[in-house]
Structure 1
Amino acid sequence: MSIKAEEISALIKQQLEGYNNELDVQETGIVTYVGDGIARAHGLQNALSGELLDFGQGIFGMVQNLEANDVGITILGDDTNIREGDSVKRTGRIMEVPVGDELIGRVVNSIGEPVDGKGDIKADGHMPIERKAPGVMERQSVSEPLQTGMKAIDSLIPIGRGQRELIIGDRKTGKTSIAIDTILNQKDQNMICIYVAIGQKASTVRSSVSTLEKYGAMDYTIVVNAGPSEPASLLYIAPYAGATMGEYFMHKGKHVLIIYDDLSKQADAYRELSLILRRPPGREAYPGDIFYTHSRLLERAAKLSDELGGGSMTALPIVQTQAGDVSAYIPTNVISITDGQIFLDADSFYSGVRPAVDAGTSVSRVGGDAQIKAMKKVSGTLRLDLASYHELESFAQFGSDLDDATKAKLDRGARTVEVLKQPIHSPIPVEKQVVILYALTHGFLDKIEIEDVLRYQSELFDFLDQSHKDLLDNIAKTGQLPEEADMDAAIKDFEQTFQPTQKNDQSQAVSND
């Protein structure tokens, strides 16, 4: 029996083809340094910036530096089990997070893993955390209002869907409270909310989640939590992960509100990573690309064109200042990227004016386009009234003899400040805001004592709910201000039932004696 050469070569070719099909080629490198949450590896010549690397044992890293001899890697998790000489292999995947409806109502970490003890999440898919922002032709102008439920913001500094509005102020001035209250006000507003907690204490995040659950807001909210005890890499990528989760819904034609609390801590985490990776430090030791870090994040907020579904993502970044210094490096960077800022004043906060919005420093570059017409009409003079009140207030304390016009301005200003006060977690529907601001600007509150103003407001709302519900419904449905005669008649009806607080004449007589 003879075997032909052609048969042998055919058999060898067949074996080689099968061998090639089973062959699994992976590019691996060797860890040359590990410590402080970063690693360096030699031999990964084809690694991509932002690519996921696998250290084994369920530990992953993300490529940050691409250098001549090695790559700098930020480790996404605990690095205690990684040693010099260990192998690390490429995954071929850019850093990505799970997205989908299953995330709504859950608390997840920076890489989309659940941390609320409610079981695994079945994601609709995965998307990379770094995505190119929509271009100019893919957007449309911001015109649809996003109601925060706070009179001081909706009247003076209106926010539109697709806008980026910075919340800025010293620590403990109510920045997070404004963000949480805005989420609470999105109930039944066809809005998905994402709250990204960066470097917040676990107890603070737990308290915020409890508040959202108490008011039913977790039904439409995702919480992304990167705590202060976690590696700097997770604090750095947390806002990008949140933005990706939001973009998934935006591209489906839905409306998203995302809050970054706060970008000061993310900048500090990025500075830490950059310095450990031996990147050259710049101003205040931040790396040279710190502006790009925030701009490429915030540019992803947009109102998409109708051809792309008309979805929107509204960003409310939070930045902390030191002693009210808005001219520091990170605050000026983020102010220049955003479409306006809500500045919270510590002095006002401690004097009891809450929310402590400084109307003089705060601004919205979208302006009246993000207001319903009724609100635009009643709030037109508010900013001027407040400005002239604060100016006159400083002069009035030096002189006792004031003319009637000045007294009237001071009285109106004091009542304006009182009306704009609002308790925490008590958002007010826009139609009720319009009514109380109408009463203020048309002089109905001028004869009400300042200590009675908030009680007057509360009782007016109750009265309208019972006796003039059609008036409120009309404002809510049309966005237009009803006829002045109807508004005046409703408020006058209420005033017949309102009982001012009786002053204690006896105590006044005693004090005079």
Structure 2
Amino acid sequence: MYQSFAKKFSQTGEVTEINFPVVGVRGLPDAFFKEYVYFENGERGVILNLKKELAEVLLLGATGVKMGEKVAKSGEPLKIPVSISALGKIITPFGSEILGPYSKDPKVEFRSVDTAPPGLETRRPIRSPLICGIPAVDTLFPLGKGQRELVVGNRKTGKTTFLTSLLKGVAGDKTVVIYNLIASQKKEAFEIYEYAVSSHLSKFLIIASFAGESSAMVYFSPFCAMTYAEYFRDAGYDVVLVLDDMTTHAKYCREISLLARGLPGRDSYPPDIFYTHARILERAGNFSAGKKGQVSITCLPVAQTKENDFTDYIVSNLIGITDGHLLFDEDEFSKGRRPAINYSLSVTRVGRQVQNALLGDVGRRALSFLTSEYAKSQTLSYFGSELTDYVRDNLDKGEKLEDFFNQSGTVLIPCEVQVVMCAMILNGYFKGETLIKMQFFKEVFVKNYLGDGRTSKMVNNIASVKDFEHLTNALLDNKLDLLESCKKAKT
């Protein structure tokens, strides 16, 4: 490849500086930013910075180069092969297969990994909900198709478990789920793959870069994942993309910048780190697809915190870029909440506009009760026998509501069941019941809704009313049947 491009452009450069994996090349006056280049020894690279007489090149492989090595420009940006045959596999950011069923697709397309975000003329308002079957999301912090929601928290707080459950809930014939692992362990990639296969997800893709691989592989990992997301979007699919995690990506950006002797900014990160992450995440959204209607890329970047420090530079950057965030709290995790979302500090800026009026009303009431009345009542709980009936009722409803939003297993709850059961708890229908019984009631109610036509018809009719007042009346009219559906499985 070096010989053909050297002959094509009649222009070759020479390596004059080496600071692996970044090298300085002189003699390429027509080179451009992010251009793909070839070295005489077969190594490849991408131009990351251009100075007056020097091009700084990031090496893509681990071979390395020597001083004086010849370099040829390609005239093209870095591109990767994308095709429908990648579904159901683990692949590297540059398209090599790691694990998955054999398949061959002759329609392979090469796409640039770093493209400008789509303009306003192709974007459409986010109007469709992304239903995942997790009550804490669907009811309290809803997501819309095309939204960018940051998932942030300390290590070991259940973020990966939550994300894999969410992907299971949203996967379908018209939805592709992509999980991008950035500098992860191979074990983690294989565990997510096994979960996807065992959950019978037909349209999933894992794009993994591993710790110990070249810095370029990790740096371009989220760029390549977004490129794949755009490929499936253009094929008419809605895409849900997880970028796990962007704080690790930022560290590799910092390493590359410092090796290239770039100007260090806050915490030694490059000054353009906000731009780099924004350029990736802004490629997500809801878009017009002509006669196909609308298609979307929903992006869920992940960020790691230390001791829930929201003021961390990268975390605060990502909060500024995205449309909301879910904070996974170590304290809530230790108390047994699953997912361990901090209700007071989590936000969805777009999701509320995609909820129907009833679900939005129920969600607002439940969230307000948990963060206000229940929280205040908890501060009085140490009074014990001296508590008023009002405080006792709040504590009872709050415990049951928190338990309802707990979802430690992989059972997904239909939206209609979420609305009805949440409203039943708020109206005190389960007063005096234990939390163990509440878990049983929830499981039985879901089974009856999915397996019994009479129950599903009743629940759907109740959930179709327009507001909470009408919902309360509908619950009262069907109280005995609803309680029976919660307590007794129907064959």
Q: Percent identity?
A: 28
Displacement after TM superposition at 1:79 (Å): 2.8
2:122 — aligned with what? Answer: 138
Letter in 1 for 2:215: A
Distance in 2 separating the partners of 1:287 and 1:121: 41
Write the distance in 1 (CA, Å) between the matches of 2:249 and 2:40: 27
> Equivalent residue for 1:459?
444
Q: Is the CA contact 2:128–2:145 (under 8 Å) kept in the aligned structure 1?
A: yes
Partner Cα separation in structure 2 for residue 231 and residue 47 of structure 1: 23
Equivalent of 1:291 in 256, 274, 278: 274
SS of the residue aligned with 1:358? Answer: coil
Work out which of the residue numbers 395, 407, 415 in structure 1 matches 2:392. Answer: 407
Q: Within 2, Cα distance between the matches of 1:202 and 1:136?
A: 39
Distance 2:127 2:486 in 1: 38
When residues 149 and 377 of structure 1 are mapped into structure 2, their CA distance, relative to the original with a 3 A threshold, is: same
Q: Is residue 2:415 matched to residue 1:430?
A: yes
Amino acid at match of 1:111: F
Letter in 2 for 1:220: K
Tell me the CA shift for residue 121 of structure 1: 5.5
Pick one of 47, 66, 87 that aligns with 1:83: 66
Aligned position for 2:288: 305
The structural deviation recorded for 1:103 is: 1.9
Secondary structure in 1 matching 2:97: coil
Aligned-partner residue type, residue 382 of structure 2: Q
* 1:17-58 Cα distance to aligned partner (Å, 9 max, x none): xxxxxx744422112233432222221111111111112555
Residue 96 of structure 1: aligned partner: 79
Equivalent residue for 2:3?
none
Q: Which residue of 2 aligns with 1:191?
A: 175
- Structure 2: distance between partners of 1:379 and 1:129: 39
Equivalent-residue separation in structure 2 for 1:495 and 1:475 (angstroms): 14
Which secondary structure does the structure 2 equivalent of 1:212 belong to?
A: helix
Structure 1 residues 113-512: aligned runs within 5 Å: 113-116=96-99, 118=101, 122=105, 123-188=107-172, 190-217=174-201, 219-305=202-288, 307=290, 309-387=293-371, 388-397=373-382, 400-464=385-449, 465-466=451-452, 467-472=454-459, 487-488=475-476, 490-496=478-484
CA contact (8 A) 2:129 2:351 kept: no
1-side partners of 2:70 and 2:465: how far apart? 63
The aligned counterpart of 1:74 is 58
In 2 relative to 1, CA 453–214 (structure 1 residues): closer, same or farther, beyond 3 Å?
same
State the alpha-carbon separation in 2 of the partners of residues 131 and 431 from structure 1. Answer: 40
Q: Over residues 117-155 of structure 1, what are the superposed CA-to-partner deviations in whole Å (9 max), with x where a residue is unaligned?
A: 655754531111111112223212111000122111111
Task: Tell me the SS of whatever aligns to 1:440.
Answer: helix
Task: Tell me how far 1:261 sits from its aligned partner.
Answer: 0.3
Conserved? CA contact 2:154–2:304, under 8 Å: yes
Stretch of structure 1 that moved more, 280-289 or 88-97: 88-97
Tell me, yes or no, if the aligned pair for 2:189 and 2:206 is still in contact at 8 Å: no
Q: Aligned partner of 1:469: which letter?
A: S
Alpha-carbon distance between aligned partners in 2 of 1:459 and 1:215, rounded to the nearest angstrom: 21
Describe the SS at the equivalent of 1:199. Answer: strand
Mean alpha-carbon deviation: is it higher for 92-101 or for 394-403? 394-403
> Which amino acid is the alignment partner of residue 433 of structure 2?
I
The one-letter code sitting in structure 1 at the alignment partner of 2:252 is A
Please say which of residues 247-256 and 260-269 is displaced more in the overlay: 247-256
Which amino acid letter does the alignment assign opposite residue 250 of structure 2?
A
Q: Which runs of 4 or more aligned residues in structure 1 lie more than 6 Å from their structure 2 counterparts after TM superposition? A: 478-483, 497-500
Does structure 1 retain, via aligned residues, the 8 Å contact 2:444–2:487? no
Distance 1:134 1:497, change over 3 A: closer
Greater shift, 174-183 or 320-329, is seen at 174-183
Q: Residue type of the partner of 1:420?
A: F
Farther off after superposition, 239-248 or 385-394: 385-394
CA contact (8 A) 1:114 1:120 kept: no
Conservation of the 8 A alpha-carbon contact between 2:173 and 2:203 = no
Q: Displacement of 1:372 after TM fit?
A: 3.2
Q: Deviations over 1:41-99 (max 9, x none)?
A: 2211111111111125553111111112321111112134x222221211111011222
**Contact kept? 1:166, 1:316, Cα under 8 Å:** yes
**1:463–1:376 CA distance, 2 compared to 1 (3 A):** same
For 2:254, give the aligned amino acid. R
| Conserved? CA contact 1:35–1:79, under 8 Å | no
2:375 partner amino acid: H
Is the alpha carbon distance of 1:439 and 1:46 closer, same or farther for their aligned partners in structure 2, counting shifts above 3 Å? same
Deviates more, 1:336-345 or 1:124-133: 124-133
| Root mean square deviation, CA, Å | 2.4
Inter-partner Cα distance in structure 1 for 2:132 and 2:264: 39
Q: Does the CA-based 8 Å contact 2:167-2:177 persist in structure 1?
A: yes
Query: Rg larger in 1 or in 2?
Result: 1
State the alpha-carbon separation in 2 of the partners of residues 185 and 220 from structure 1.
12
Q: Alignment partner for residue 36 of structure 2, among 52, 76, 80?
A: 52
Residue type of the partner of 2:481? D
Is the contact made by 2:19 and 2:260 (CA closer than 8 Å) also made in structure 1? no
Asked if 2 retains the 8 angstrom alpha-carbon contact of 1:342 and 1:357, the reply is: yes
Could you tell me which residue of structure 2 aligns to residue 109 of structure 1? Answer: 92
Question: Matched residues in 1 for 2:120 and 2:233: separation?
Answer: 16
Q: Unaligned 5+ residue runs, structure 1?
A: 1-22, 501-513
Q: Does the 8 Å CA contact 1:63/1:74 hold for their aligned counterparts?
A: yes
Q: Determine if contact 2:89/2:100 at 8 Å carries over to the other structure.
A: no
Give the whole-Å Cα distance in 2 for the aligned partners of 1:120 and 1:228: 28
Aligned partner letter, 1:246: A
**8 A contact 1:38–1:277 mirrored in 2:** yes
User: What is the DSSP-based 3-state SS (H/G/I as helix, E as strand, rest coil) of the residue aligned with 1:280?
Assistant: coil
Provide TM-score, normalisation by structure 2. 0.90
Q: Counterpart of 2:435 in structure 1: which amino acid?
A: I
| Deviation at residue 300 of structure 1 after TM alignment | 0.9
- Residue 95 of structure 2 aligns to a residue whose secondary structure is coil
